[in-house]
Chains A and B, each alone.
Chain A
Amino acid sequence: MNAKVAVIGGGPAGLGAAVAAYEAGINPEDIHIIERDMELGGILQQCIHNGFGQLIFGEMMTGPEYASHYIDEVLKAGIRFHLNTMVLDISPDRVITAVNQEECLMRINADSIILAMGCRERTRYQIHLPGERPAGIYPAGTVQRLINIEGALPGRRAVILGSGDIGMIMARRLVLEGAEVEGVYEIMGSPSGLPRNVQQCLRDFEIPLHLSHTVTGIHGNRRLEGVTISRVNPESLKPMPGTERYVECDTLVLSVGLIPENELSEGAGIKLDGWTGGPIVDEERETSVDGIFGCGNAVHVYDLVDDVTKSSELAGRSAARYVKGETICREHVLSITAGENVRYTVPQHIRKQSDEPVEVFFRVYLEAANVKLQALVAAEVISEESRRVVKPPIMEKIILQGDLLPVDGEIIIQVVEK
């Protein structure tokens, strides 16, 4: 089977990328979306809460509504998609090997590939959570699937570790479905999810949020019986002896971070960024392997699906351009460096010479008020924006004007006080 554009993943990123490639002139028959689940939409189908679509549609949609907009576009365009299909391998020369029950084994020779696999949840083992290993400890996304898709309530009394958005949203869901949420515990000194979720998911339901606390023990051999909670030293983040408290619960929900899913990318020999966990991409979202593009949470974890869609539309357009042989010279590399109070940037470098503006996304390390976001070339500010406040949970971006960019060298992105 041949494809001009093969999209790995039918979630918001994959849908956006496929539609954009179609709109950029690729024949819909030549665009293939490969989705492992039984339907398109990805994680949005289980994100039944609202808050999606504000940037793109100017209204608050739920996840399934947002997904259905793009699914309709895919159907209307006649873009091909393969459901219940798991990609086993992507080769550096863009051969995709996948399996499903109808075609058995699929081999797709793709002119271009868009990686839109999304991300997975960090487990208790990755944060070294000590204790026993009973039933009842689930990542927030698994809880979300259990409750919203399967109609399964994981437990009667839950503790939530981590104040990521999904964790807070699931706190509210658990309460609405009749379970008790004893509290949300966050190791950092400020919530890691969006402020609005602290309000509408926790405060609205009088669920306590305990900052600078973590779980230091898991008890129960078979089903979870309780956890030990400890206060942590705000600087070292180490648990403080003597502050232990036993909390009875049958469920521990973990909302402790997301990791871009890139095992397939690695198999294709794509270089990953140690900070984002996703492929290193240029401003067109092309990875280190020719003709393979990345977008959405597979590249870096976004706060908002609207931004995922925008990134995927960019990747979709770029793939179309690549397929049509319209890619501009990419011999020079202008690297982007994370400067003061910037954890990472996406893209990591710019290598096409065009006058189009480039949006650089980044996250700050530390909350700061009254700051300037700056892009520097050779110690000279080429772009600057003001912010009343920047916070780690909120992704920032700065726009670089194409005509101000040098061909190669380095751009530094930094956040400094006004």
Chain B
Amino acid sequence: MTPISRTPNRDKIDSEVRQVPPDSRMGRRIAKKIRERVPSAEVDVQVEDGIAYLSGRTGTWNEYLGAGYAAGGMKGIRGVVADITVDGMPKKELRRPDRPKEVIKEDEDVIIVGGGVIGCFIARELSRYDLKVTLVEKELDVATGASKANNGCVHVGIDPGKGTLKHRLCLRGNAMFDKVAQELDVPFRRVGTLLVITDRTLPENVASKIPDSLRKLVLKYVLPHMVLLYGKRKNVPGLRKIPKEEVRQIEPNLTDDYHSAVLMPTMGIISPYELVIALAENAVENGVDLMLDTEVTGILVNEKNEVEGIQTAKGIMRGKYVINAAGVYADELAETAGAREFTIHPRKGALIIFDKKLAGYTSHVVSELLLGQDKHTKGGTAMLTTDGNPEWGPSAIEVPDRDDTSVTSDEIHDILKKYAHLFPHIEAGSMIRYFAGVRAATFTEDFFIGASRKASGLINVAGIQSPGLASSPAIAEYVLDILRAEGLGMEEKPGFNPIRESPPKFSELSVAEMEKLIREDTRYGNIMCRCEKVTEREILDAIRAPLPALTVDAVKRRTRSGMGRCQGGFCLPRLIKVLARELDVPLEEVQKKKGGKVISSRTKEGGQ
């Protein structure tokens, strides 16, 4: 039941072209590798259908990761299920509380679980067809997880290994962005990556062994040339070595302390949450039912292992196909269908944002080539967001807790230090925010996309991390191919409208345009967020949109209210009053996000 891709130029799927040794021998090889790498771990290995099932115990989280990676790195392994306990960490019990058995959806064609960029993109693409599609999201908004907490880079596709899904989908996805961004009215700019080669590019142990003159030669000529070759091998278009004089012109605040630089022009930047919101709105306008605040507690399968629908906190939804786009919880969701084919291990990434005053400071996505670093922690850039804030990061830190979006002092310090090499004159004092998201990494380090071989009708779209955003248009296209191959008929819907318009952003207008808008609607004359110049009308637009903003954070992501240098100190008391009025709830019910009420009660009202 392998999905057959019908797009002619991608007829190969990795696991099929690899020569896979028999399961038992593979199991022994993995066990040996784990013993070598993590001698103290006690891990049993079973391999079945290309999936490595690890069980046993390890002493630490790092050993757990070591065992997982050892298996995931093995050629021919397409998934790793790590059922390994870690000493001192109680195994999380999956909650299975009694849920309402009421059937709230009778016969959906496709149910998508998860309102991140992947779920929303698939929903939007499915909305082209005459299908009954429901997207369920547990939070009060879309894009509340990794999809909001990344830097919005639309990567060029040079990093993933050739032959991986990541590589193929990133290349294709990147090329699809101009059209999507235009249709959905989301700011997108192909700014290009400037990859600089510095004294830190070569690892210490290598650099120290090469004589000075040779090292300079390597840094100045050999490495950039290798990057070009590497780009060619990965089919990344347009790479060129760029002389210092030109760099000085296009990125004047960049340090001069580097040896050479390569420009990769196809790198793009987009606001990741604006993209998701736009996709969701467009999907809703084209008939997708988007249910917020609806936690999925399990996938319903019959005795023949066929998907019949899902159980949610609000009741049962019946449907033929379930798309698992549940991000860091995708493995737990799949498990409820008895379909364990991969384990997600969370990897946190922190980013820092600088004041918009520095908008003119930088324009490209600037990266430093750092060779020989741990491949899971490399990456990160200094860039400018589409809103004009310099942004540095992300870091990459393995964390046991999937909800750990904390940012530690060390992370802040490390990011500031790392990118100060590139932009030495930016002051830490102009940092206005930091945040973190959690990547849904798998041990095979590739996307895990495909029809489950254990529960028919379940399509896993898992392990989506960088370059997940860049790949998202291609992932959606690929998932539609898989659905067709799985037997879902798709007939184009005549009324599909690919266009979504975003409401005007007051602060981006000329003075004349501002005046015109205020004359049309005086609520444009009421500026509620001082730092970002967000008007009452824009806030109302957000609350009254096809996908309404229900929380302070949802309004913030749509309008930038509270995203400026005072971080909501000024606008929050004003904003919650508008939200309470518009949502017709008491002030004390207004939430920052689901479960996070802004205030606890009113004064003088029996509070004592």
Which A positions have Cβ atoms within 8 angstroms of B? 36, 84, 86, 88, 97, 99-102, 104-105, 120-121, 123-126, 128, 130-136, 138-139, 141-142, 145-147, 149-156, 177-178, 216-218, 221-223, 250-251, 263, 266
Contacts and interface: CB of A to CB of B under 8 A. Distances in A.
A146 B599 contact: yes
Binding site secondary structure of chain B: mixed
A125 B432 contact: yes
Most chain B CB neighbours (cut-off 10 Å) among A99, A145, A146 = A99
Contacts of B405: 132-133, 221
Contact of A120 (B434, B523, B570, B588): B570
Interface in B547-577: 552, 565-570, 572-573, 576-577
A151 B518 contact: no
Interface stretch (B205-213, B332-340, B526-534): B526-534
Given A99-B527, A150-B577, A152-B603, 18 more contacts: A36-B527, A99-B525, A101-B526, A105-B511, A105-B518, A120-B566, A123-B566, A126-B432, A133-B405, A138-B569, A139-B569, A153-B600, A154-B600, A178-B607, A223-B592, A223-B597, A263-B357, A266-B357
Interface of B: 357, 403, 405-409, 411-412, 429, 431-435, 511, 514-515, 518-519, 522-527, 530-531, 533, 552, 565-570, 572-573, 576-577, 587-588, 591-604, 607-608
Given A121-B569, A147-B603, A222-B594, A152 B431 contact: no
Contacts of A153: 599-603, 607
Contacts, number: 146
B429 A104 contact: no
A144 to B, nearest CB: 10
B412 A104 contact: no
Contacts of B565: 120, 123
A125 B567 contact: yes
Contacts of A221: 403, 405, 595-596
Q: What 4 pairs across the A-B complex have the smallest Cβ distances?
A: A222-B595, A135-B596, A135-B592, A222-B596
Nearest to B528: A86
B587 A152 contact: yes
A104 B524 CA distance: 9
A250 B597 CA distance: 10
A128 B530 contact: no
Contact of A142 (B409, B515, B569, B597): B569
B431 to A, nearest CB: 6
A177 B603 CA distance: 6
A229 B595 CA distance: 24
A154 B434 contact: no
A222 B593 contact: yes
B573 A145 contact: yes
Contacts of A133: 405, 435
A100 B412 contact: no
20 contacts: A36-B530, A102-B522, A104-B519, A123-B567, A125-B433, A126-B429, A128-B412, A130-B409, A130-B411, A132-B405, A135-B591, A142-B569, A146-B573, A152-B576, A152-B588, A155-B599, A155-B600, A178-B608, A217-B406, A222-B593
A132 B406 contact: yes
B598 A135 contact: yes
Contacts of A156: 600
Nearest to B352: A125
Most chain A CB neighbours (cut-off 10 Å) among B405, B409, B533, B591 = B409
Contact of B431 (A101, A126, A138, A145): A126
Contact of B566 (A86, A121, A128, A147): A121
A105 B527 CA distance: 12
A266 B565 CA distance: 15
A155 B429 CA distance: 30
Most chain B CB neighbours (cut-off 10 Å) among A120, A123, A130, A139 = A130
Contact of A128 (B409, B567, B569, B587): B409
Contact of B569 (A86, A123, A218): A123
Nearest to B404: A132
A152 B602 contact: yes
A146 B597 CA distance: 14
A351 B599 CA distance: 51
Most chain B CB neighbours (cut-off 10 Å) among A121, A136, A222, A250 = A222
A101 B525 CA distance: 4
Nearest to B434: A125
Contacts of B357: 263, 266
B432 A150 contact: no
B409 A216 contact: yes
Contacts of A88: 511, 514, 533
A240 B252 CA distance: 41
Most chain A CB neighbours (cut-off 10 Å) among B409, B519, B569 = B569
Contacts of A125: 431-434, 567
Given A101-B526, A150-B587, A222-B594, A86 B603 contact: no
Contacts of B599: 146, 152-155
A149 B607 contact: no
A151 B519 CA distance: 34
Nearest to B431: A125
A138 B594 contact: no
B593 A104 contact: no
A109 to B, nearest CB: 15
A163 to B, nearest CB: 19
Contacts of A105: 511, 514-515, 518
B514 A150 contact: no
A278 B523 CA distance: 32
A153 B405 CA distance: 27
A123 B432 contact: yes
A247 B596 CA distance: 19
A171 to B, nearest CB: 15
Nearest to B600: A155
Contacts of B431: 125-126
A151 B434 CA distance: 31
A141 B572 CA distance: 11
A86 B587 contact: no
Contacts of A251: 600
Contacts of B407: 130-131
A415 B75 CA distance: 73
A86 B429 contact: no
A40 to B, nearest CB: 17
Contact of A131 (B406, B527, B587, B594): B406
A101 to B, nearest CB: 4
A99 B534 CA distance: 12
A86 B588 contact: no
Contacts of A216: 409
A340 to B, nearest CB: 25
B575 to A, nearest CB: 11
Nearest to B139: A222
A388 B432 CA distance: 40
Contacts of B598: 135, 154
A237 B566 CA distance: 25
A104 B602 contact: no
Nearest to A218: B406
B259 to A, nearest CB: 33
